Amino acid sequence: MVPSSLFHPFRSLARRVRRSAPVTHPEAEAPLALPRRIDGPAAATQLTRDLLRNRREDITLAIYLDDWHRLVGTAILAVGWVQATRLSVRPILQGAQACRVTSCIVVRYRRWGALSATEPEDRSFRTLAAASARHGLTILDHLVVTA
């Protein structure tokens, strides 16, 4: 009986260690804290950085908002260099119809580079805004975000 009582605390300690949360890598993804509202460019920038934190490619993202600027959904429109990818208004409109929204923000995410949009990016944004306006979707802003 005595040896059994000596090992009893160690068994409970081992049980507690087994039941604890698994040890994860320090760079593992933490759960996202999505904002309720997108009040301005700073909130949209922070959301984009949170969503695309570990991505290495250039990505064009759509952030869908309702009438009260509450976040409804996001969609990746294109992956790659903006001049090499042909952006169409079709995926933006399909996402807007699926989410039943009236406005969106187009965000261009890149790992490095200038914080301002290039001339081809501005041209493609104006084309997307005009085409989506014909279908009743308002593109509120075009942001360029770097990591």
Q: What is the DSSP string of 6-65?
A: HHHHHHHHHHHHHHSPPP--TTSPPPP---SB--SHHHHHHHHHHHTTT--S-EEEEEEE
**Does 124 reside within a domain?**
yes
Average pLDDT, the chain: 78
**Does 17 reside within a domain?**
no
- Taking the C-alpha atoms of 112, 116, 119 and 121 in order, what is their torsion angle to the nearest 10 degrees? 70
**Does 140 reside within a domain?**
yes
**Does 48 reside within a domain?**
yes
| 9: pLDDT strictly greater than 80 | no
Mean pLDDT of 46-69: 88
Alpha-carbon distance 77 to 88, whole Å?
A: 9
Determine how many CB atoms are found less than 10 A away from the CB of residue 117.
Answer: 16
- Domain of 86 in residue numbering reads as 27-146
| 140: pLDDT strictly greater than 50 | yes
What six digits make up the tokens of 82?
A: 């903006």
What six digits make up the tokens of 74?
A: 């996001």
Q: What is the CATH number of the domain that holds 107?
A: 3.40.140.10
**Is the whole model's pTM more than 0.85, yes or no?**
no
Q: Of 79, 92, 78, 87, which is closest to residue 139 (Cα–Cα)? A: 92
Provide the number of structural domains found in the chain.
1
**Does 8 reside within a domain?**
no
**Does 7 reside within a domain?**
no
Q: Dump pLDDT digits (tens) for 77-130.
A: 888 876 556 778 888 998 898 889 999 999 988 888 777 888 878 888 898 899
Mean pLDDT of 64-80: 88
Q: Report the helix count and the strand count for the chain, using DSSP H and E.
A: 4, 4
| 141: pLDDT strictly greater than 80 | yes
What six digits make up the tokens of 99?
A: 């989410």
pLDDT at 131: 92
**Does 13 reside within a domain?**
no
**Does 100 reside within a domain?**
yes
* Highest mean pLDDT pick, 42-56, 75-89, 125-139: 125-139
| 10: pLDDT strictly greater than 50 | no
Residue 115 has phi, psi (to 5 degrees) of: -85, -5
